[in-house]
A = this chain, B = another copy of it.
Amino acid sequence: MSKKIPYKMYLQEEEMPKYWFNVKAAMKEQHDPFLHPGTGKPCAAEDLEAVFCKELVAQELNTTDELIEIPQGILDFYRMYRPSPLVRAYELEKRLGTPAEIYYKFEGSNTSGSHKLNSAAAQVYYAKQQGLTSLTTETGAGQWGTALSMACAYYGIDLKVFMVKVSSEQKPNRKAVIRTFGADLIPSPSDTTEVGRKILQEFPGTGGSLGCAISEALETSFKTPNCRYVLGSVLDHVLLHQSIIGQEVKAVLDRYEVTPDIIIGCAGGGSNLGGLISPYMADKIRGKNDIQFIAVEPASCPSLTRGRYAYDFGDTGKMTPLMRMYTLGNGFMPSPNHAGGLRYHGMSPVLSKLYHDGYLEARSVEQTAVFDAAVYFARVEGTLPAPESAHAIRVALDEAIKCRETGEKKKIVFGLTGTGYFDMTAYSRYLDGDMHDYIPTDEDLEKGFASLPQVPNA
């Protein structure tokens, strides 16, 4: 007989996972290796160590160890805001009149407001261990910059955040939070880098782009002694750190003898979804469960559902190694009217491979339907979701409504990655009826695909 499931399920401190889960150790085939864009040869660890911390490169390339121990210094940080609650959405089930059980893992109750903190903590810890004294990064909407500034304040490392200029102007609150945590926030393009100065000269008055901010952050890290660049999504080591989410979900659901039928997550770069599903996906690969995994992406930036499985740059500045992934092309830009986040042109190579091999489904949703779900959820469950997270809510609602029709008692788990506090401009547009859907035409997509690189010797 199963135990009564409370509204919120917390792990006690001593039950908290002490290992990240490396799903690659369970995969039958690995994703294709990173390629050096000049030579077309697979990148060696040394190539990557020029950009990233040594330990993170080791994690990036680790395909054999399923469990990777979380150092005590990171556990000490995690316990400040973890475990995050896993919530049984009783009220939502009741109002929907569905026989389905709905669960969500809420990662937005820490001060950074999102799951990004899980990898920020790890990356800054390893940088400190390596004797580095400063880090650089870029941030678009600001979730990653906030998370990283918190971790840097805690571990005592200097941080320069290049924030897309137009974002830093539209989101003064994000900017202020990052500064409160002591980071140096530089609107990009800036006159502090060569690439920034060049862009300012060519396009005076530009609002900047993520590609440019990445380039400025990379240039600064190369020119600063004891400095490295850090990245908040896409890469395998980021997914590894985010597996703390899935590890907690599994630990607490196992306690109540619950195995999900469906696990749903929004997917931009893919780190949250990858982390959420990791331990369950390993079991699926081994034939121990038959869970349906669903990645949800915006219809305006449909890398999985309409992209190509190809080698591409990770950034629009074409400075990163080439990664094989589902991509719309590094030159693809979603409509500026898209308010719901998840604007990345590519997708985590691990998730891309799992999707390609049929272990993972993908669905795209339109933004007005996403905000319908967000507002409905907020009013019923009392938690204001980030628009990104609301992509997962949309599909969870759809699946729960299907269950109402079929009578199935499916157990639906979704990831609620962040709070909507910093996205009220988008909510206001929705409430004012000023939000519309934008779906790229095939022609639009072709323009993006045209930016895919020719891969030498591939």
Contact = CB atoms under 8 A, between A and B. Distances in A.
Interface in A53-91: 76-77, 79-81, 91
B182 A379 contact: yes
Interface in A81-107: 81, 91
A224 interface: no
Given A12-B6, A424-B172, A380 B180 contact: no
B79 A110 contact: no
Contacts of A172: 424-425, 428
A203 interface: no
Contacts of A424: 172-173, 176-177, 180
B384 A111 contact: yes
Contacts of A421: 113, 173, 177, 421-422
Count identical subunits in the complex.
2
B378 A181 contact: yes
A226 to B, nearest CB: 21
A458 to B, nearest CB: 44
Contact of A111 (B111, B383, B427): B383
Interface residues of A, number: 44
A51 interface: no
A422 B384 CA distance: 14
A74 to B, nearest CB: 13
Given A172-B428, A173-B173, A153 B379 contact: yes
Interface string A187-223: 0000000000000000000000000000000000000
A382 B8 contact: no
A286 B177 CA distance: 45
A110 B428 contact: no
Interface string A269-300: 00000000000000000000000000000000
A154 B13 contact: no
A150 B382 contact: yes
Contact of A179 (B154, B173, B177, B431): B431
A381 interface: yes
A55 to B, nearest CB: 22
Given A6-B12, A13-B8, A180 B427 contact: yes
A427 B176 contact: yes
A375 B153 CA distance: 11
Nearest to A106: B109
A383 B109 CA distance: 10
A430 to B, nearest CB: 9
A158 to B, nearest CB: 13
Given A179-B431, A180-B431, A424-B177, A154 B375 contact: no
Contacts of A14: 6
A431 B176 contact: yes
Given A111-B383, A176-B427, A79 B153 contact: no
Contacts of A181: 378-379
Highest count of chain B CB atoms <10 Å: which of A8, A111, A428: A111
Given A6-B12, A7-B13, A10-B10, A382 B427 contact: no
24 contacts: A6-B13, A6-B14, A6-B79, A7-B13, A7-B79, A8-B13, A8-B79, A10-B12, A80-B382, A91-B154, A110-B382, A110-B383, A111-B384, A111-B419, A153-B379, A153-B380, A173-B421, A173-B424, A176-B431, A177-B384, A179-B431, A180-B431, A181-B379, A182-B379
Interface of A: 6-8, 10, 12-14, 76-77, 79-81, 91, 109-111, 113, 150, 153-154, 172-173, 176-177, 179-182, 375, 378-384, 419, 421-422, 424-425, 427-428, 431
Given A153-B378, A176-B431, 6 more contacts: A6-B12, A150-B382, A154-B379, A176-B427, A179-B428, A180-B378
Q: Which 8 A-B pairs have the closest CB atoms?
A: A176-B424, A6-B13, A153-B379, A173-B424, A176-B428, A7-B79, A109-B109, A111-B384
